[in-house]
């Protein structure tokens, strides 16, 4: 399950201290805007920069590209197009498919159980079409104030997973939400043991624009090899 969520990112009870009514009101406004965005959500596309920091060697691996989301009925589909090395990561129908053109190989990971599928999709829509108040069902959410990302004064939220299984993957998650649009401009995922983290940055975000169906299809060849690792 950890590998499934890492691919997607490699690729996304409220605690209030005494006297924090203002923070509570600010959080409520952010969650309400995310709710509004979720209610009208059909598609999102954005440019991304994904940084994977490894503490033990003190290095950062960076990948850049485009990511596309769309809602298909009750399900969410995602395609990440990674520029270098060229790679395509497609999520849909309860499975993740990673196509590497240089190897001409598609590796498929199934989410398996319904609960695992729900966990994967909850990470997929963090700040991209997910309801704000739904966050409170899966996370303890704390409002950390505002922080400027580019020209946008974002609302900074910290999420601590309520599920022990999810806490085994990520100790906590920080989101930087554009309060006007209810979408995340940055996401940071913290490993619970290693000190590693993933920092995802998004720009050129377009909401509810038409995305061609073929964007959500892997452009394989007649010689493409398909593999499905176990475990």
Query: Which tens digits make up the pLDDT trace of 115-143?
Result: 565 666 666 667 777 888 988 988 999 99
Contact between 187 and 12 (Cβ < 8 Å): yes
Q: What's this model's pTM, rounded to 2 decimal places?
A: 0.83
Distance CA 82, CA 86 (A): 6
Query: Which tens digits make up the pLDDT trace of 73-121?
Result: 778 899 999 998 899 999 988 889 999 999 999 999 887 665 565 666 6
* 143, 197, 172, 72: CA torsion to nearest 10: 90
Phi/psi at 85 (nearest 5 deg)? Answer: -70, 150
pLDDT of residue 163 exceeding 60: yes
pLDDT at position 4: 56
Contact between 131 and 168 (Cβ < 8 Å): no
Paired residues of 53 in beta bridges: 60, 197
Query: Which tens digits make up the pLDDT trace of 1-26?
Result: 555 555 555 444 233 333 345 577 89
pLDDT at position 53: 96
Considering only residues 20 and 63, tell me which one the structure prediction assigns the higher pLDDT. 63
Instruction: Check if CATH label 2.50.20.10 holds for domain 2-227.
Output: yes
Render the burial of 156-188: b for 16+ CB within 10 Å, e for the rest: bbbbbbeeeebeebbbbbbbbbbbebbbbbbbb
């Amino acid at each position: 399950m950890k590998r499934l969520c890492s691919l997607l990112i490699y690729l996304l009870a409220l605690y209030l201290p005494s006297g924090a009514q203002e923070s509570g009101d600010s959080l409520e406004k952010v969650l309400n805007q995310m709710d509004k965005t979720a209610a009208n959500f059909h598609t999102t596309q954005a440019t991304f920069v994904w940084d994977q920091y490894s503490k033990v060697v003190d290095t950062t691996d960076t990948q850049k590209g485009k990511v596309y989301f769309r809602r298909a009925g009750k399900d969410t589909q995602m395609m990440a197009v990674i520029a270098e090395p060229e790679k395509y990561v497609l999520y849909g129908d309860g499975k993740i498919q990673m196509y590497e053109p240089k190897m001409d190989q598609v590796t498929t990971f199934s989410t398996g159980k319904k609960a695992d599928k729900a966990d994967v999709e909850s990470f997929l829509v963090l700040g991209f079409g997910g309801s704000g108040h739904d966050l409170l069902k899966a996370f303890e959410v704390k409002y950390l104030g505002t922080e400027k990302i580019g020209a946008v004064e974002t609302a900074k939220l910290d999420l601590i997973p309520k599920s022990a299984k999810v806490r085994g993957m990520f100790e906590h998650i920080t989101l930087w939400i554009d309060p006007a649009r209810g979408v995340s401009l940055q996401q940071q995922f913290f490993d619970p043991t290693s000190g590693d983290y993933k920092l995802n940055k998004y720009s050129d975000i377009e909401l509810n624009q038409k995305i061609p169906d073929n964007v959500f299809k892997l452009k394989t060849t007649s010689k493409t090899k398909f593999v499905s690792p176990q475990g």
